[in-house]
Structure 1
Amino acid sequence: MSTAASSSPTPGTSTGPSPSGKRSTADAGHQLLLLQGGAELFPALVDAMDAARSVIHLETYIFEFAGSALLVAEAMERAARRGVNVRLVVDGVGTPRIPAEWAKRFATAGVRWRVYAPMGRLGLLLPSTWRRLHRKLCVVDGIIGFCGGINLIDDQDDVALGRLKAPRLDFSLRVAGPLVSEMADTMEQLWWRLQAVRKARQREFKAAWDALREASPIGDFSRLLQVLDGSASHADHAEHAEHPDDAESTGTTLAPPLGVDGARATLLLRDNVTHRHDIERAYLKAIGEARREIVIVNAYFIPGRRLRKALTMATSRGVAVRLLLQGKYENFLQYHAARPVYQALLKAGIEIHEYAPSSLHAKVAVVDQRWATVGSTNLDPLSLLLAREANVMTSDRR
């Protein structure tokens, strides 16, 4: 992300329909705080949840009730015991069930949860089951939101690779500002849909909930939302990502999180109804308007024809295109599906680097240091054509 506000047009500012179905652009007035890994995200979630007075709504693909992720489960439990309305939605593949101990603890405290599209006897053999809840969103009291690629799992645990030698590379954003209400709206819509009631009743329940939410008290988040000075440099974070063990070996702490106030930002969604191509179009627009540099960090990178064409056309205009991709593959098919794509892109002059220190799970991109996105969206067919995804896009020169 860049360092000074810009009033000139920037790549990808027009973003397509909002959750309400209207066309939206990046609005000003947001505070954005970049968080690296669960080491930064989980304490930020806990701080927000501990300040909550009204509602906590959390969606995630994976919720592993172990290690550092337990901090979040415990914060949700504490909030529910205080009378906060706590809702959790997990994906039926990423989190097939809540462990019995935590199901009991959540039920006792009053945490409500739902499993999105639970697996049947045939598992993923039916194509209709490939539509997953892959987005990672949280909204607290309608004031603070979180959006990114980080699942609720310890940074050094991996469901496919086992125990990692170093924390995985992943990012999330803490957000305050206008788009948080859009985030809350899309989560509300899914929650009521999962209640298995008729649409007319869903509308009635949502209207009643909206009225209750407007009348409910909100927590004091002034300490969390102090003015950010952006003192941490991108170099600090690059150094930490390159040498993730240094902090432990030297006794130093993580680089301070990167953050900006007054940023222009918008929420980008992908679903199978009204937002089928919003995120892909935002990427294509930003890439098409790039003039100097495109940096994409993506865990599962098997782009379709349009994205491949956009990237190769950018290189033909003299734009430097750099990709940081997964170096530790979870399975044989994933590795071999990516190889032919890599060869074509390398031939076009695109730089490809594979992340070696640990697993890479990030889904971020920066174009000309004036357009950036952080979210859950991989640039592969599952994310772009089937899954529910969410990204935050900013078009500020920060």
Structure 2
Amino acid sequence: MIPDNQITLLQNGEAYFPAIEAAFDRAVGEIYLESYIFENDTTGRRIAGALRRAAFRGVKIRVLIDGFGSNSLPKAMVDSLEAAGVMVLKFRPKTSPWTLRRRRLRRLHRKIVVVDREIAFVGGINVIDDMGKPGQTSPRYDYAVSVEGPLVEEIYDSARRVWSRVAWIRFRRGWGRVGDGPAPSTEPRGRMRSAFLVRDNIRHRRDIEDAYLQAIEQAKFEIILANAFFFPGLNFRHALLNAAGRGVRVILLLQGRVEYPLLHYASHALRGSFLDAGIEIYEYHKSLLHAKVAVIDEHWATVGSSNLDPFSLLLSLEANVVVDDENFARTLKHSLNQAIHAGSRRIPRDHWRTQPIRLRLTSWLSYGLVRFMIGIAGYAPGKQSDPA
């Protein structure tokens, strides 16, 4: 944990996009932007316009997007950014829906912005309209944070390293060279203790999961997890069940709408043991839940890109900010409680046992298929992985 930071919670795109756009308009030196999805919609064009304006002022801009998540981004938008001087790279641009090779399943799932080494943004929000689905009446439910203070330098270093590695792999060697920028401010920006955690395929394969496990194992009275794709491994499930067994109130806020059927039904196979242990499960139905956050004992909190599923915990590049601060944790808890009361419904304790046998069978078959997919993708604990 690094002290003296100011971490501000941003809920949904309505808070996030104006904040990063304003930071782009203030930029004088350099901008890094990483996003799994960069969509050619109203929001995407708005952010692209802010990046072009900064580039025209001479700001060095590096945009890294995922080759699968941003596969639909038209070449014309990339060309317009590059014409303004923005450097754009795709992480693993070769994609195929018919392969389960490990390299193809490893995606850039991080959502990071760093501006002038003075302010950074980390979270789960892609560059895409909040109201992007047909018939959607409420915005996609998600979070990010703005970061000011000493922690920004760690986020900057991480973004620079990933960019340089991808530039080298894509034979853009000149793009990977980073000159000496302005030194970051060393003055305290706040009083919050916080940490920046990544999951990569080199030395930090389990940092995010381990931080969750440590906080859960130390929990004394309350755990609140909100996650879009909740499909944790055995150690994580045991940690939650053990916490409930020692009297900790455990609340799970999960996706209620079907976005990806396979993961949706696979996650249902785990609910019976959770409900039997007294864990509260709420399904969010007001809109698509895309959040990846937690609050434990009203002081430990995390916001980031990492789902609690095999693709985030075992395969993708992810980034989370952890904050140990009572005011921040209570702000996030209040926001989650509002979502629980206004947009969710609780799953009854006997819900799983009363489900039709065909639905339970579908869930277990989906569970088995997901585990099989991860297995044939080549994942094995402790196995060395390719660096990108």
TM-score in terms of structure 2 length? 0.79
- 2:23 partner letter: A
What RMSD in Å do the two structures reach over aligned CA positions?
2.3
SS in 1 for 2:22: helix
SS in 1 for 2:287: coil
Paired with 1:168 and 1:98, the residues of 2 have a C-alpha distance of: 20
SS in 2 for 1:63: coil
Cα deviation digits, residues 125-161 of structure 1 (max 9, x gap): 3232111100100000000000000011000114xxx
Q: 2:102 aligns with which of 127, 131, 137?
A: 127
Q: 2:301 aligns with which of 372, 391, 394?
A: 372
Q: How many residues align?
A: 326
Pick closer, same or farther for the CA change 1:78–1:338 going to 2, 3 Å.
Answer: same
Pick closer, same or farther for the CA change 1:342–1:274 going to 2, 3 Å.
Answer: same
Q: Which residue of 2 aligns with 1:386?
A: 315
Pick closer, same or farther for the CA change 1:263–1:351 going to 2, 3 Å.
Answer: same
Q: Which residue of 2 aligns with 1:68?
A: 43
Q: Which residue of 1 aligns with 2:178?
A: 209
- Which deviates more, 120-129 or 96-105? 120-129
Q: Which residue of 2 aligns with 1:190?
A: 162
Whether contact under 8 Å (2:68, 2:95) holds in the other structure is no
Cα deviation digits, residues 341-366 of structure 1 (max 9, x gap): 11111111100000010000000000
Pick closer, same or farther for the CA change 1:386–1:51 going to 2, 3 Å.
Answer: same
SS in 1 for 2:191: strand
SS in 1 for 2:167: coil
Structure number with higher relative contact order (C-alpha < 8 Å, ≥ 6 residues apart): 1
Whether contact under 8 Å (2:34, 2:64) holds in the other structure is yes
Pick closer, same or farther for the CA change 1:316–1:71 going to 2, 3 Å.
Answer: same
SS in 2 for 1:58: strand
Paired with 2:196 and 2:162, the residues of 1 have a C-alpha distance of: 16
- 1:209 partner letter: V
Paired with 1:197 and 1:294, the residues of 2 have a C-alpha distance of: 41
TM-score in terms of structure 1 length? 0.78
- 2:155 partner letter: M
- 1:313 partner letter: N
Whether contact under 8 Å (1:97, 1:115) holds in the other structure is no
Whether contact under 8 Å (2:39, 2:72) holds in the other structure is no
Paired with 2:226 and 2:147, the residues of 1 have a C-alpha distance of: 21
Paired with 1:306 and 1:197, the residues of 2 have a C-alpha distance of: 35
SS in 2 for 1:57: strand
Q: Which residue of 2 aligns with 1:164?
A: 136
Q: Which residue of 2 aligns with 1:12?
A: none
Q: 2:32 aligns with which of 37, 57, 66?
A: 57
Whether contact under 8 Å (1:42, 1:69) holds in the other structure is no
Residue 170 (structure 2) pairs with residue 181 (structure 1): no
Paired with 1:364 and 1:27, the residues of 2 have a C-alpha distance of: 20
Cα deviation digits, residues 370-392 of structure 1 (max 9, x gap): 10000000000000000000000
- 2:66 partner letter: D
Aligned-pair identity in percent equals: 44
Paired with 2:132 and 2:67, the residues of 1 have a C-alpha distance of: 19
Pick closer, same or farther for the CA change 1:102–1:292 going to 2, 3 Å.
Answer: same
Alignment of 1:225-374 (within 5 A): 261-374=190-303
Unaligned runs of 5+ residues in structure 1 are 1-25, 228-260
Whether contact under 8 Å (1:294, 1:365) holds in the other structure is yes
Q: Which residue of 2 aligns with 1:35?
A: 10
SS in 1 for 2:326: coil
Q: Which residue of 2 aligns with 1:252?
A: none
Q: Which residue of 2 aligns with 1:108?
A: 83
Alpha-carbon offset, residue 198 of structure 1: 11
Paired with 1:35 and 1:317, the residues of 2 have a C-alpha distance of: 33
